[in-house]
Structure 1
């Protein structure tokens, strides 16, 4: 059957990853025969191995041009056509891709999460339903600080400078306006239990409706 693709978008630190990962865990728990694939838009940040580390640090990573969105769209198209794809691996510590990739096979449910998903027409068209995580910017900033300092080796000064120079301006120019393309807006972050239950039950229902007779028997 053709995969059912959902997009989870919204600002950095809004709870997208937590929501998507929780959704995957609960779908696998409640429907162990249902394959679920999670793809992160961050993996598609452009390869910058041809640039010096100093030059990479000046790139605006919150602008759509920083992400190879056409490649992500083509991968979703291939997965929908039943073809496996090679998803890039991005290393935040050096601001570039590694030489390795991850092989991803088609699955009945594909969840894609990222800050700029809804800014790209082909990505929007590749998704059957689109969600936007609406979390206040001050909360997003606090979460981003904690993550970037702990997980990505960033300094407090670099995180706050990036927020001031690119994160906040790009939020207002690209990310926030993309909410108009969402089918549903989710508040209260990745731990919104009601939203998780609604989306999980919807995907379970879709998987049951599209399952083949052989699957239903087994």
Structure 2
């Protein structure tokens, strides 16, 4: 069985984690699998999704361990509108490289213990807010007023208190404002995957 490398990509909301992860998967094609921590959100009646307990992290860790052992896993399907996992699942098969992305990926000890390489995406808060405004207004059909209110009430306090700490755990810190193709080459070189 081919050894599995699990790469964590952390950073603030709107930093560019998903864009980077997808670019790596596209480059590595059939060798890589992307798992978003967002898949594991519980439905939060309070509406605050910016805290670690909002996610079923123990289930994600169990799935990562299953995939690392060479067995397929049934991952929850994410409901974009309601920001939570659904009762439906998607069967995924293990691949040599698994990318795990999310705001808490580099801050929760249980996740950190599963990672072989850790990347933190550093992006200015104004850029992140602008991206979140576009994303949440189109994907989650939310008003800009509600997005901005949530940003100041939940997103930024959590980022400053918890998410930013992930940078100190990272093996590599990259800029989320940098050209994605250049960033991709830097990462692939560090992982010795430039010829993949």
TM-score for both structures, normalised by structure 2: 0.92
Q: Counterparts in 2 of 1:65-84, with a 5 A limit? A: 65-84=53-72
2-structure distance, mates of 1:137, 1:64: 20
Distance 1:189 1:68 in 2: 30
Residue 15 of structure 2 is matched in structure 1 by: 14
One of 166, 171, 177 as aligned partner of 1:183: 171
Unaligned runs of at least 5 residues, structure 2: none
Q: How many residues align?
A: 195
Larger Rg over CA atoms: 1
Alignment counterpart, residue 36 of structure 1, candidates 32, 42, 55 = 32
Deviations 1:99-136 (A, max 9, x none): 21111111111111111101111211111100000000
Higher helix share goes to which structure? 1
Contact 1:16 1:190 in 2 (8 A): no
Q: 1:132-143, aligned counterparts within 5 Å?
A: 132-143=120-131
SS at match of 1:126: coil
**1:45 alignment partner, one of 17, 41, 46:** 41
- CA offset digits 1:64-86 (Å, max 9, x no partner): 11111111111111111111111
Please tell me whether the aligned partners of residues 17 and 190 of structure 1 are also in contact (alpha carbons under 8 angstroms).
no
Relative to structure 1, the CA distance from residue 139 to residue 180 in structure 2 (aligned partners, 3 Å threshold; closer, same or farther) is same
* TM-score between the two structures when normalised by the length of structure 1: 0.83
RMSD: 1.9
**Shift of the alpha carbon at 1:93?**
1.4
